[in-house]
Structure 1
């Protein structure tokens, strides 16, 4: 049996700092969403759909939740005119959820309200923000895109 290895002090500090950042961001995100009478989950789904239309299954995969949960969220957003369902041009059997213009406008408003994320990042130089982005991508098992715009 291999001896247990304990994380070094810097790793433990980084874990605590990431937890603090996530907690503060989540609280502010929920508050920003509430200004638009949305839950945090509704705002996250709407944010994904503002980027591109996608089927429920892919939304669920991105949010790491059950498709049935996504269906309920999309139903509520659709009732408010923020999301619409449309057939997939490549497979007419598949329905895509897509943000409406009102939904995209709502997403922009929620994002504008996120001072917590913007203010600390504003203290970093453009180069430092690029390094942070690339390190976070590596932590998630993704490679930074070559030639990605750092601005």
Structure 2
């Protein structure tokens, strides 16, 4: 008896996976372009976007960005030199440095989100119900 992992995906599944790949590729290209418009690399923009949600310790940033802590230090250094990020000691453990987005950094993140054009028009062409359905299906995929 074949296990689910050893069975070949059906044509519909293959097509859906290919479409997801195309969406991801277009999103990344648009994100890189939006970041460049603010004189940021994609990694700098991603880190700044993470910090817009919550201040994070440097090690946690490295985990989220899937890179070495030394790379995060360099990214934070460059953002800090532009006044977009600050380092603060963690109140729970003063040995740990937290990266925090400044007000200027938060403004850049808002502008970045507004600059992302890739999905705006296609999503606007969907009804509210269709957008909710798409959102719910994507959440289910991510929770699986």
Q: Following superposition of structure 1 onto structure 2, how do residues 43-122 of structure 1 map, counting pairs within 5 Å?
A: 43-122=45-124
Task: Give the C-alpha shift of residue 71 in structure 1.
Answer: 1.4
Task: Describe the SS at the equivalent of 2:28.
Answer: helix
Cα distance, 1:67–1:103 mapped onto 2, change above 3 Å: same
Task: Give the C-alpha shift of residue 103 in structure 1.
Answer: 0.6
Task: Give the C-alpha shift of residue 124 in structure 1.
Answer: 2.1
**Unmatched tracts of structure 1, length 5 or more:** 143-151
- Whether 1:135 aligns to 2:137 is yes
Distance in structure 2 (CA, Å) of the matches to 1:58 and 1:119: 34
For these two proteins, the number of residue pairs brought into alignment is: 142
Distance in structure 2 (CA, Å) of the matches to 1:119 and 1:89: 44
Cα distance, 1:91–1:22 mapped onto 2, change above 3 Å: same
Which residue of the partner structure matches residue 27 of structure 1? Answer: 29
Distance in structure 2 (CA, Å) of the matches to 1:74 and 1:129: 35
**Unmatched tracts of structure 2, length 5 or more:** none
Distance in structure 1 (CA, Å) of the matches to 2:69 and 2:107: 25
Task: Give the C-alpha shift of residue 86 in structure 1.
Answer: 0.7
Per-residue CA deviations over 1:17-69 (Å, capped at 9, x if unaligned) read: 01111111111110010011000110000011111111111112222222222
Runs of 4+ in 1 over 6 A off after TM superposition: none
Distance in structure 2 (CA, Å) of the matches to 1:131 and 1:89: 41
RMSD across aligned positions (CA): 1.7
Task: Describe the SS at the equivalent of 2:40.
Answer: coil
